[in-house]
């Protein structure tokens, strides 16, 4: 059977631009760029030492902050066996710029590497202007795309949802193609199938897909039309019509 989605791969490695010592006494790596992915950290601590790694997007008053992630812990805990190891999380990913590390002595930027993950899409061009601000905007769009193209298009890579919101996809896909030309048929194919499989009696499309497991709720016009290779999925169902069907 033909693969329905392109693989997610490690696309680049980034070293921290700084190791920050915050007013609270925290040690926090700054990548200088928000990324989606995992990391590797070389540790050499005595057996039984608990090493805690937390990720976040911003600093608040110069200190580590990730309460905006809501219920997402966004952390990795490792208990040392006394041997030098390079630890790497598996079966997860994080959206982050800042990394708070506790339990490691003599922490160094050389010991930490961020691993950027995203779908292995094909780039077919680039855009560069004579205006530095416009170029930065284009770079922001590109990094936002990288961060949210992880098999299916998501709305964010860091909070406690990371879901394929159809409204976000409807807005972003045509704008993305105008600014950053890449081939997206494989991402479009798998997302179209997810929406179709999540649709209720083929009448309306859900707010997010793949289905999150919560009570299925229609898009209520948030996702009016999404097109992949000429296939259109429409949603214009009102709350009133939903209640009518529920009573039936």
Distance (Å, whole) CA 189 – CA 145? 17
Cα 30 to the chain's mean position, in Å? 18
Q: Is the CB of residue 79 less than 8 Å from the CB of residue 133? A: no
Q: Is 99 exposed, middle or buried (0-12, 13-18, 19+ CB in 10 A)?
A: buried
CA atoms within 13 A on the CB side of 164: 23
Name every residue whose Cβ is closer than 8 Å to that of residue 200 and which is 6 or more positions away in sequence: 206, 216, 218
Q: What token pair was written down for 64?
A: 């580590």
Contacts of range 56-61, beta carbons closer than 8 Å, 24 or more positions apart:
56/96, 56/97, 56/98, 56/99, 56/100, 57/95, 57/96, 57/97, 57/98, 57/158, 58/97, 58/98, 59/20, 59/22, 59/28, 59/98, 61/23
Say what the pLDDT of residue 237 is.
34
What would the two tokens of residue 38 be? 């995992």
Task: Considering only CA atoms, give the Rg of the chain.
Answer: 21
pTM for the full predicted model: 0.75
pLDDT of residue 151: 78
Q: What is the pLDDT along the chain (248 residues), one digit of tens a residue?
A: 666 777 888 999 999 999 999 999 999 999 999 999 999 999 999 999 999 999 999 999 999 999 888 888 889 999 999 999 999 999 999 999 999 999 999 999 999 999 999 888 777 777 889 999 999 988 888 888 888 888 777 777 887 777 777 766 666 666 555 555 555 555 656 677 777 777 654 556 677 777 665 544 554 444 434 443 333 333 333 333 333 333 33
């Amino acid at each position: 059977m033909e693969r329905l989605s392109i693989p997610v791969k490690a696309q680049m490695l980034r070293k921290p631009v700084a190791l920050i010592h915050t007013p609270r006494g925290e040690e926090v790596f700054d990548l200088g760029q928000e990324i989606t992915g995992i990391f590797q950290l070389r540790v050499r601590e005595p057996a039984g030492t608990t090493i805690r790694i937390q990720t976040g997007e911003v600093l608040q008053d110069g200190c580590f902050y990730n309460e905006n992630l809501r219920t997402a812990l966004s952390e990795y805990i490792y208990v040392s066996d006394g041997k030098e190891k390079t630890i790497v999380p598996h079966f997860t990913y994080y959206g982050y710029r800042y990394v708070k590390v506790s339990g490691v002595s003599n922490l160094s930027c050389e010991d930490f590497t961020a691993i950027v993950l995203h779908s292995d899409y094909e780039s077919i061009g680039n855009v560069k202007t004579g205006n530095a601000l416009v170029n930065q905007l284009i770079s922001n769009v590109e990094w936002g795309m990288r961060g949210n193209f992880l098999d299916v298009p998501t709305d964010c890579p860091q909070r406690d949802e990371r879901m394929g919101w159809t409204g976000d996809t409807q807005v972003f896909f045509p704008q993305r193609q105008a600014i950053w030309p890449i081939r997206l048929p494989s991402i479009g194919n798998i997302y179209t199938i997810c929406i179709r499989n999540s649709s209720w009696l083929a009448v309306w499309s859900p707010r997010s897909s793949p289905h999150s497991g919560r009570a299925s709720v229609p898009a209520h016009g948030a996702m009016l039309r999404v097109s992949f290779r000429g296939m259109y999925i429409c949603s214009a169902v009102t709350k009133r019509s939903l209640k009518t069907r529920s009573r039936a």
